[in-house]
Amino acid sequence: MATLLTILGVVVVLFVWNRLPVEIVAIGAALALVATDILTVEQSLAGFGDTTVIFIASLFVVSEAIDSTGITTWAGQQLVRRAGGGPRQLLIAVMLMVALLTALISVNGAVAALLPMAVVTAMRLGMPTSQLLMPLAFAAHAGSMLALTGTPINVLVSDAADEAGAGTFGFFEFTLVGVPLLLGTLVITILIGPKVLPVRRPATLGADLSAHARTLGRQYLSDRAVARLRVPSTSLVVGRRVVDLLDRLPDGVAFVRREAADGVDHRTDPSATVGVGDVVVLRGPRDEIDGIMRVAGLAEEADPIVPLGDGNALDQVIGVAELVVPPRSAIVGARVYPGQVTDSGDLVIVAVQRGGSDLGPRESVLEPGDVLLVQGRWEDLEREVDADPNVIPVDDPRSVRRQAVALGPKSTEALIVVAGMVVALATGIVTPAIAGLVAAVAMVLLGVLTPRQAYRGISWTTVVLVGAMIPISTAMRETGAAEDIAEALLDVVDSPTGLLFGLFLITAVFGQLISNTATALIVIPIGISAAAELDISPAPVMMTITVSAAAALLTPVATPANLMVMEPGGYRFGDYWKLGLPLLALYGVLAVLYVPLIWGF
């Protein structure tokens, strides 16, 4: 037991020190339990196969599906349209929306999804972002108590209550405390927030990318489109010379290039004839190009380039990216032209600019500082931009996609899957892990996500942290440490209400300094042992712990969500406690006095 408490003390110190990744600290703790013979290898690694960890991982996949289909972007856009009445209306709308979204996709996911939209809307209303973004994060914490899926801690305490004989908490059972918590957070924030929150604007703000398609259209192409037209054997242009085609093109349509099917470069030979399988690249008004296609019998290639000017260049499948050619890039001196397919075969160059001016349809030799507008599938854009050191993106394609793309073609499927998962969890027809796994697999099978997107959507830090910290909880039970700490706590507070107050203090204090998930995993076995000592139901004890863990409000390092809003809100470390302390008192009253009224001792 002494060895275990020493390991636990070192873990807490390292968490507070915050110089090592939390997952490394957690894994180190699991390994230390093996090295000191406190647990067997199987016990120390069992957390990674725990059904709770599986469920949490599957929820991240579902969250990624909701985000990638544009549902969160659509919700943010509705927020922009409906919150134009003033700062208070915006504040209420933002807090309610992030709370509801958190119930489905977790605190960090909801804050990350709505943060750009909230910043943009505040800027449009002339409202300091510092008056809005901390309430956004704090409302997400309250929203985490609206449903089982709001936070991994809810899943952990539900399973712990079940193991202790009290049964699991229902999917919407958390709502009984979540609703008053959210309403109280709204009231306190509206009454106190404007007085205690700083009136401060950050030094830098993220770009407003919500109208990105039209912005790029005005800057690059206006009403012009670039099209790659394949020449089938039935086309009227087969056997015609390129120079003859140039004479027949209508005004406003430019001939960019003929790409020969044999791969031979004929760009300097206008007398060459067009053959079957060649690609003719044109640039001009979309309706004119469509007319040429009909008359000449040309077929547009798959994933066609669409005109940026009408706002249709970005959808759930196809996106665009601006790429700057830096000095010493390997592509300096390369010849490019609008409509050209990149070497990877996945992206198409739509336009090239130099010094802010379009270089037109002609072939250009790239120089440092040139800007390429490329178009392709979102996953290809993200992969190419990440992997290519020869270009620098003006805006991250992921940020563009998050802000500019609303409901996509797979959004209906995603909503149906989420609804099915919620019904399964609410009715208990299957275990949470099975419901989550079925939902995650369905998202991939229905084409909502690719396997790559599913893997990338999982917060592996959280998964590893929970999996590696579960053995700490096991060791506290195995060694009797949880029982001894519970007895020591009951020596100070010898009543059920006193126990809840003590657990609230311990959880809330540690939750400001280290991961609230890690805190919960440490405190849960103590609460279970204390409930057994007092011969009371573990249900109110577990619910008090989850409410207390959600009260991570006094420091920016308490949760990633708090940290996310720090820079765009222009906050300093000491700004959080001014609004966080009154809210912490609300959490304490609900955790200690309200919870036992719903879940009796």
Q: What is the pLDDT of residues 135-187, one digit of tens each?
A: 999 999 999 999 988 888 998 899 999 988 888 898 889 999 999 999 999 99
Is residue 441 a part of any domain in this protein? no
C-beta of residue 339 within 8 angstroms of C-beta of residue 373: no
Task: Report how far residue 78's alpha carbon sits from residue 274's, in angstroms, rounded to the nearest whole number.
Answer: 50
Count of CB atoms within 10 A of residue 51's CB? 15
Identity of residue 167: G
The pLDDT confidence band at residue 406, using thresholds 50, 70 and 90, is: low
Share of the chain above pLDDT 90, in %: 28
The pair phi, psi for residue 255, each rounded to 5°, is -80, 120
Among 357, 379, 394, give the residue marking a domain's end.
394
Indicate the residue type of 512.
Q
Count of Cβ atoms closer than 10 Å to residue 226 Cβ: 29
Position 104 confidence tier, pLDDT thresholds 50, 70, 90: confident
Residue 371: which CATH number? 3.30.70.1450
What is the phi/psi pair of residue 137, to 5°? -65, -40
Domain match, 276 and 370 both: yes
Given this model, what pLDDT does residue 515 score? 76
H-helix or E-strand spanning residue 357: strand 357-358
Beta bridge partners of residue 336, listed in sequence order: 364
Number of neighbouring beta carbons within 10 Å of residue 414: 26
Q: Is residue 128 part of a domain?
A: no
Token representation of residue 154: 């809810």
Residues 239 and 368 in one domain: yes
Tell me, yes or no, whether 222 and 368 share the same domain. yes
What distance in Å separates the CA atoms of residue 505 and residue 86, rounded to the nearest whole number? 38
- DSSP letters, 56-80, are HHHHHHHHHHHHHTTHHHHHHHHHH
Query: Of 394, 424, 441, which one is at a domain's C-terminal end?
Result: 394
Greater confidence (135 vs 62) lies with 135
Question: At 351, which helix (H) or strand (E)?
Answer: strand 347-354
Query: Residue 206: which pLDDT band, with cuts at 50, 70 and 90?
Result: low
229 plus 372 within the same structural domain: yes
Within 8 A by CB and 6+ apart from 452, the residues are 379
Contact (Cβ atoms closer than 8 angstroms) between residue 7 and residue 33: yes
pLDDT range class, residue 223, cuts 50, 70, 90: low
Give the Cα separation of 34 and 42 in Å (integer): 9
Give residue-wise pLDDT tens across range 526-574: 899 999 989 999 999 999 999 999 999 988 877 888 877 888 888 887 8
Q: Comparing C-alpha atoms, which of 281, 240, 274 is closest to residue 260?
A: 274
For the segment 388-396, the average pLDDT, to the nearest whole number, is 89
- Single out the residue in 394, 421, 438 at which a domain terminates: 394
* In-domain check, residue 504: yes
Q: Rounded CA gap, 373 and 366, in Å?
A: 13
Stated as kind and residue range, the H or E segment containing 196 is: helix 175-196
Q: pLDDT band for position 115 (50/70/90)?
A: confident
On whether both 499 and 382 belong to a single domain, the answer is no
**How far is 237 from 399, CA to CA, in rounded Å?**
43
Whether residue 208 contacts residue 120, with contact meaning beta carbons closer than 8 Å, is answered with: yes
Cα angle, residue 452 at apex, residues 100 and 23 outer, rounded to 5°: 70
**Residue holding tokens 């409302």?**
139
Mean pLDDT across the stretch 317-326?
A: 87
Residue 77 located in a structural domain: no
The answer to the question of residue 11 being in a domain is: yes
Residue range of the domain that includes 216: 210-394
Do 368 and 225 share a structural domain?
yes
Q: What is the reported pLDDT for 207?
A: 63
204 part of a folded domain: no
Give residue 134's pLDDT band: very low, low, confident or very high (50, 70, 90): very high
Give me the DSSP letters along 285-334: EHHHHHHHHHHHT-EEPSS----TTTT-S--SSEEEEEEE--TT-TTTT-
- Confidence at 65, pLDDT banded by 50, 70, 90: confident
Nearest to 596 by CA among 526, 523, 512, 496: 496
Res. 303 pLDDT band, cuts 50 70 90: low
Instruction: Out of 347-351, 424-428, 451-455, 498-502, pick the least confident.
Output: 424-428
The answer to whether residue 454 is domain-embedded is no
- Give the up-direction half-sphere exposure of residue 564: CA atoms within 13 A in the CB hemisphere: 22
Q: Name the amino acid, one letter, at 516.
A: N
Is residue 488 one of the residues assigned to a domain?
A: yes
Q: Are residues 232 and 354 in the same domain?
A: yes
Residues 358 and 236 in one domain: yes
Q: Report d(CA 302, CA 290) in Å as an integer.
A: 15
Q: How far apart are CA 529 and CA 570, in angstroms?
A: 43
Q: What is the mean pLDDT of the chain?
A: 85
Burial degree of 334 (CB within 10 A; 0-12, 13-18, 19+): middle
Residue 491 has pLDDT above 90, yes or no: no
Number of domains in the chain: 2
How many other CB atoms are there within 10 angstroms of residue 551's CB atom? 28
For residue 590, give the amino acid letter.
L
What does the alpha-carbon distance between residue 486 and residue 536 come to, in Å, rounded to a whole number?
A: 13
